[in-house]
Amino acid sequence: MDIVPTHFLLEHWSAAVSAAYYHWSFLAQPAPFPERLIGADPDYFYESCLLGWGGARLEDFLELEAYRAAWRDPAAIAGMTNDYRAALAVDYAHDAADLGRKVGCPALVLYGASGAMARHFDVPATWAGRLSDMRAKAVPGGHFFVDQHPEEVAAALAGFLGEVEGRR
């Protein structure tokens, strides 16, 4: 949901993508640099992310207090930063090794129509060479379209799962 393959993203990194997705480089820095900066004011950091990646509003997040409780936890902050470190150190290499291979199961690629990935890339095209049975759909909203438009996401998932189930 609202991503492009890691290898593709890093191979097509540009100044515009860097400005829109600065968090990739920031969160991948060695510990404890991002953890300490985020930990000083986690609400400010994460709320700026929620609002900055496609025009969401805090009101779009019905479980905002649950998000806040999670992102204030130092272990959660460490987990998030480690995920981005792994993208550069592990995921990129795994993606490179899998170039030319396709995932064979049915796959649904959902992405925010006004998100950074849709502004910078043709999201379905980035996945087309990696998925042998793909459907793709732009959903209104940005990176957090699941929170912004849950009904549309649920309808897209139900339609996809119904289609896949119908082929059995």
Q: Are 112 and 138 in contact (CB under 8 A)?
A: yes
Q: What are the Cα distances from residue 130, in Å, to 1, 54, 101, 157?
A: 15, 26, 6, 20
pLDDT given for residue 89 in this prediction: 92
Q: Are 34 and 76 in contact (CB under 8 A)?
A: no
Would residue 24 count as lying in a domain? yes
Tokens of 75: 């272990």
- Residue 14 predicted with pLDDT over 80: yes
**Percent of all residues in the chain with a pLDDT value above 90, rounded to a whole number:** 94
Q: What mean pLDDT do residues 68-87 have?
A: 97
Would residue 130 count as lying in a domain? yes
Would residue 136 count as lying in a domain? yes
Query: Per residue in 39-63, pLDDT tens?
Result: 999 999 999 999 987 779 999 999 9
The domain containing residue 54 runs over which residues? 6-166
Q: Provide the number of structural domains found in the chain.
A: 1
Would residue 1 count as lying in a domain? no
Would residue 32 count as lying in a domain? yes
pLDDT given for residue 55 in this prediction: 76
Q: What is the CATH number of the domain that holds 132?
A: 3.40.50.1820
